[in-house]
Structure 1
Amino acid sequence: MSTDCIVHVVQGAVKGQQKVSSVFSKKKFYAFQGIPYAKPPVGLLRFKDPQQCESWSGVRDALSEPEICPQKHIILREVLGNEDCLYLNVYTPQLPNEASTLKAVMVWIHGGGFSFGSGNTDLHGPDYLMEQDVVLVTLNYRVGAFGFLSLENNDVPGNAGLKDQLMALRWVQQNIARFGGDPNNVTLFGESAGGASVHYHLLSPLSKGLFKRAIIQSASCTNQWALLSNAKERTFRLGEILGLQTENPGELLKFLQQVPSLDIVNSQFKTLTSVDKRNTLAFPFVPSIEVPGTGHNFLTIHPKTALRQGHFAHIPIMIGVTSKEGMVLLNDIPHTTEYFKVLDSNFERIVPLNIGLPNDSMERAVEKLKHLYFGDKSISWETLTHYIDFFGDILFYLGVNETVKAHAKLSKAPLYCYEFTYEGNLGMLKNVLKMKYPEGIDLSGVAHADDLGYIFKQNIPGLPTLEPGSEDEKVITRVTKMWTEFAKTGNPNAPGLGVKWESVSRNKLCYLEIGKSMKMVNGLPHSKRVEFWEKLLNPALKEKL
């Protein structure tokens, strides 16, 4: 391997390798995988805020992907990973020389409910984005209890996983120019929990100045599942499940730091109560509001308060959803005819208690909601698409639309909204659901995370492959051009799109529908149902129902 693949970062030298894209133009690019950006969070550093990465001597190989952080793998359903997992990957079409111009940088935050996932190429292959002449950074951050356990004190203030991401962004500022990337032109983007993370970075003073633009896919930090209100209580509950009952935070921390990581992964979901599950808190350890003055605080006020008061970075934003986000529930919970019968008889059980419906009119509100989604029909396979819409609204659309309106009202920076409606062959979740459920079930629409197959090359055996010249290929080209044009200029209107993507303003809500063709639509995605919810949740608007 030539010395051209050796890059000297602040911490030491790393050796990468030249690769060739497996799609489109077979473009050559450089890959540097498994570069440490923080000290391994092991031993007494477990649960703690990340520490600066130590330097090394000689040349460190960056030739293979790092191990993922400890988790139950979303596909294999096995507990995998290593706590020494704070590494990132850099993919660049060109290493710098005297004649080269630094390129726009896109830093990807993976999803996974803050409980699983990684930046690796099984789901996030760089091939498509390399065609668009940007530098891509993907990374691992601590998930589950390792990343989001909190004692609400100086020892463990919480949100270590978000602070891992922050540390990676600081590493990018220090080092990305050495890979041909422009540290002054960084776009932070992510999907699901990664999208919520991007939104949290927009709110956090600690992230100020570390990125210039943001893309939020299928999430908002105002979604119910993205914020934990009883983090300290849950930490003590985890200790009890693992064998220690104490009221002493120091004793609990010492105990938990000695428990095998496998036991923590297997026990953390047992901390979820029946109330948690009804409140759509599907993941036990997620971001929380930190107690001010406990270390370097990432988040000390409620996200909705920050939005309402305009305490967020006023930078260009793209934000959007897929057409059937709620389909993710079919993967998380096995659905049967009997299950639907139970839900139909007890519809109130799937209306979250913490969503904000007034207690004095809860029964009437539940009746109205059931009629809105199902009319006079029962919850069944026949009404599956309405069931999916119900959970799509609760889990995603309510929060995303609220976020769009808040930013449009107070920010002067451009804001672009979209809905991804193209149903192709590269949606991973849709393909998984087709294998899980019998033929004839209505799985129309674009499931949660299925847009990722048109941004990243996914390398999972058994999934459909990209056919040259196919409609899928055309959509990939179109989407990656818009995403990267936004990263380069702050405006997603790349040449040749055939439609002008208009920005949202306080006085004009609109979005781009990204389907087989593209068109602008007035309003926001699923606005009719979302507005019904907003009137239910706002007593001042109840008389309009």
Structure 2
Amino acid sequence: MFIPFIIRGSEKQLHLNVYTSQLPELLGWNPFLPVMIYIHGGGYVHGSDWTFLHDPKHFVQEGVVVVVISYRLGPFGFLSLPSMGIAGNAGLKDQAMAFRWVKENINQFGGDPENVTIFGESAGSWSTYLHYLSANSRAYFKRAICQSGVVCTDSFFQVEPEEKARKLAKILGYKGCSDLGVYETLMKAPAHLLAKHQHEVADEDEKKLPMNFLFRPVIEQIETEDSIITSSPQQILKQTDTMDMPLITGCTNGEGMLAYFYLRRKNQLDAFITEPERLVPCYLRENKALNLGEVGTQIKQFFFGSRKINKNNNQHLCDLLSDNTFVTTTMINAELLAKHQPRVQHFHYRFTFHGRFDIFKRLQRTGQFEGACHGDDQFYMFDSPMLPNLSLDCDEVKVRNNFVRLWTNFARYGHPTPTSHDSPVWPVAVKHPNADFKEFNMTYLNISRELRVEQNPDKQRHAFWRSMIAQYKADLL
């Protein structure tokens, strides 16, 4: 979760905040409470551990210790120049360092170092999933929750990271052509200039994307004791029956509002609407033989038919943007887990509630769309001075109580509804996968005014994307 265009932090140090209700030194004994480590979002550009946005008091009241961490962002955290010893993913390694700190110290705050759950939203969710895939990271936690973002395709990773480093150095005045010169220029540059100019390294294709967070994780070239990911996520997921850690993944039903906001802010809505190639998701673009115009026209036909894209069918555009940014990769990941990792207890959800805690929906002026905006689920978990004071019996508080109870149950027991007395019981996403996977059927929890177990979210849309993957990127599944 992040407030766009606000950056908060220090070049000198990283912080983490620990929230607990019971200190062993005052109790005289250690309660060994479950621990939840939260990783903030912000596209690897914005965000912080700021309590103003992430006050976890509702979690603490449920008897868990919460740790909210910070990490380096932008080029500080995700610049990669292997020729000069910069492997990349420094921001992810900051997170892993925080995990180690928790392992070694959380007992001083009443927490159980052997019962740790990591969770995050947006870029924090992507990070959580990369740690879930990393054998080095998995030593520090027992389960994971990914809210709006998983990493299961190579298209997620930074595009030409070394060229981005070189381009940034040239923007800052470097005239030479050696990586040593690039390194020295970047090391000497003031932090505010690195942050200011980081968005200028985009290539022409990236400039056309609805959202172009440029400095983000890479697949590291060399396996080391602190590397996070050195193989393709697909390769890791397809190593049959090698994972067994419980996992929750999910999305809001209005993820595309964020991309719509960026397109409108960049005055690119008209271009996005009139150029079909812009409609093609990044994971299909991995097929370099693709005719983007033809594929984009197929996508346009499915979502809009013969209608012109305008304010009267913006909901279809929002659905398309939702699929292209967060939703479809989450479904791809669910299918990969079902096919190749049968021991993983995977729970899937959709957050669909629209209410008075919808801070981002209001800030982004996307109230014309149905459902929950990207990031607004966080305000139904964390407290913030931005939220209105509402009665304890209102729908918003009821949704928040359900959300927090499910998450803390998962942290405590490894299951969000651990007993038969819970209503409804949240089943795993896929119990008995179809062997040939001609169809993919998934159970999920709809988190709204009421909790409802349902089947196959966005069924027609996902069937369309599966057909496109089968036609243009069959090796993905």
Q: For the residues of structure 1 that align with 2:243 and 2:84, how far apart are their CA atoms?
A: 27
> Where do 1:234-383 residues align within 5 Å?
234-279=164-209, 282-292=212-222, 296-310=226-240, 313-334=243-264, 340-352=269-281, 355-356=284-285, 359=289, 362-383=292-313
Q: Does 1:450 align with 2:376?
A: yes
Higher relative contact order (CA 8 A, sep 6+): 2
Deviations along 1:169-227, one digit per CA (max 9) or x if unpaired, are 00000000110000000000001110110100011121132100100100011367741
Identify the residue that residue 432 of structure 1 maps to in structure 2: 363
Q: For the residues of structure 1 that align with 2:396 and 2:465, how far apart are their CA atoms?
A: 35
Q: For the residues of structure 2 that align with 1:540 and 1:290, how far apart are their CA atoms?
A: 27
Q: For the residues of structure 1 that align with 2:43 and 2:337, how far apart are their CA atoms?
A: 24
Q: For the residues of structure 1 that align with 2:290 and 2:261, how far apart are their CA atoms?
A: 34
- Contact 2:223 2:230 survives alignment (8 Å): no
Q: Kindly state the Cα deviation for residue 154 of structure 1 after the two structures are TM-superposed.
A: 6.0
Q: For the residues of structure 2 that align with 1:215 and 1:104, how far apart are their CA atoms?
A: 14
Identify the residue that residue 15 of structure 2 maps to in structure 1: 87
- Contact 1:484 1:492 survives alignment (8 Å): yes
Q: Kindly state the Cα deviation for residue 367 of structure 1 after the two structures are TM-superposed.
A: 2.2
Secondary structure at 1:145's aligned position in 2? helix
Q: 2:401 aligns with which of 477, 480, 483?
A: 477
The verdict on how the C-alpha distance between 1:203 and 1:247 changes in structure 2, with shifts beyond 3 A counting, is farther
Q: Does 1:389 align with 2:319?
A: yes
Q: Kindly state the Cα deviation for residue 126 of structure 1 after the two structures are TM-superposed.
A: 1.5
- Contact 2:278 2:296 survives alignment (8 Å): no
Question: Which amino acid is the alignment partner of residue 128 of structure 1?
Answer: H
Q: Kindly state the Cα deviation for residue 530 of structure 1 after the two structures are TM-superposed.
A: 2.2
Question: Which amino acid is the alignment partner of residue 453 of structure 1?
Answer: F
Deviations along 1:342-369, one digit per CA (max 9) or x if unpaired, are 4333232343466336745544432221
The verdict on how the C-alpha distance between 1:360 and 1:119 changes in structure 2, with shifts beyond 3 A counting, is closer
Q: 1:205 aligns with which of 121, 131, 135?
A: 135
- Contact 1:88 1:139 survives alignment (8 Å): yes
More strand by share: 1
- Contact 2:116 2:141 survives alignment (8 Å): yes
More helix by share: 2
The verdict on how the C-alpha distance between 1:200 and 1:376 changes in structure 2, with shifts beyond 3 A counting, is same
Identify the residue that residue 502 of structure 1 maps to in structure 2: 427
Which structure is larger by alpha-carbon Rg, 1 or 2? 1
- Contact 1:93 1:130 survives alignment (8 Å): yes
Aligned length: 461
Question: Which amino acid is the alignment partner of residue 374 of structure 1?
Answer: F
Q: Does 1:512 align with 2:445?
A: yes
Q: Does 1:421 align with 2:352?
A: yes
The verdict on how the C-alpha distance between 1:105 and 1:74 changes in structure 2, with shifts beyond 3 A counting, is closer
Q: 1:196 aligns with which of 123, 126, 129?
A: 126
Deviations along 1:8-28, one digit per CA (max 9) or x if unpaired, are xxxxxxxxxxxxxxxxxxxxx
> Could you tell me the TM-score, scaled by structure 1's length?
0.79
Q: Kindly state the Cα deviation for residue 100 of structure 1 after the two structures are TM-superposed.
A: 4.3
Secondary structure at 1:406's aligned position in 2? helix
Q: For the residues of structure 2 that align with 1:293 and 1:415, how far apart are their CA atoms?
A: 28
Q: For the residues of structure 2 that align with 1:404 and 1:82, how far apart are their CA atoms?
A: 38
Q: For the residues of structure 1 that align with 2:429 and 2:399, how far apart are their CA atoms?
A: 23
The verdict on how the C-alpha distance between 1:443 and 1:280 changes in structure 2, with shifts beyond 3 A counting, is closer
> Could you tell me the TM-score, scaled by structure 2's length?
0.90
Q: For the residues of structure 2 that align with 1:426 and 1:293, how far apart are their CA atoms?
A: 44
Q: For the residues of structure 2 that align with 1:182 and 1:203, how far apart are their CA atoms?
A: 23
Q: Does 1:170 align with 2:110?
A: no
Q: Which runs of 5+ in 2 are unaligned?
A: 434-440
The verdict on how the C-alpha distance between 1:311 and 1:111 changes in structure 2, with shifts beyond 3 A counting, is farther
Q: 2:464 aligns with which of 532, 535, 542?
A: 532
- Contact 2:125 2:147 survives alignment (8 Å): yes
Q: Kindly state the Cα deviation for residue 443 of structure 1 after the two structures are TM-superposed.
A: 2.2
Identify the residue that residue 186 of structure 1 maps to in structure 2: 116
Deviations along 1:231-280, one digit per CA (max 9) or x if unpaired, are 11111011111111333222222221111111011100000122113355
Secondary structure at 1:182's aligned position in 2? strand
Identify the residue that residue 47 of structure 1 maps to in structure 2: none
Q: For the residues of structure 1 that align with 2:223 and 2:172, how far apart are their CA atoms?
A: 30
Instruction: Tell me how large the CA RMSD over aligned residues is.
Output: 2.5
Q: Which runs of 5+ in 1 are unaligned?
A: 1-72
Q: For the residues of structure 1 that align with 2:56 and 2:223, how far apart are their CA atoms?
A: 40
Q: For the residues of structure 1 that align with 2:245 and 2:282, how far apart are their CA atoms?
A: 34
Q: For the residues of structure 2 that align with 1:184 and 1:212, how far apart are their CA atoms?
A: 8
Secondary structure at 2:68's aligned position in 1? strand
Identify the residue that residue 40 of structure 1 maps to in structure 2: none
Q: For the residues of structure 2 that align with 1:318 and 1:392, how far apart are their CA atoms?
A: 19
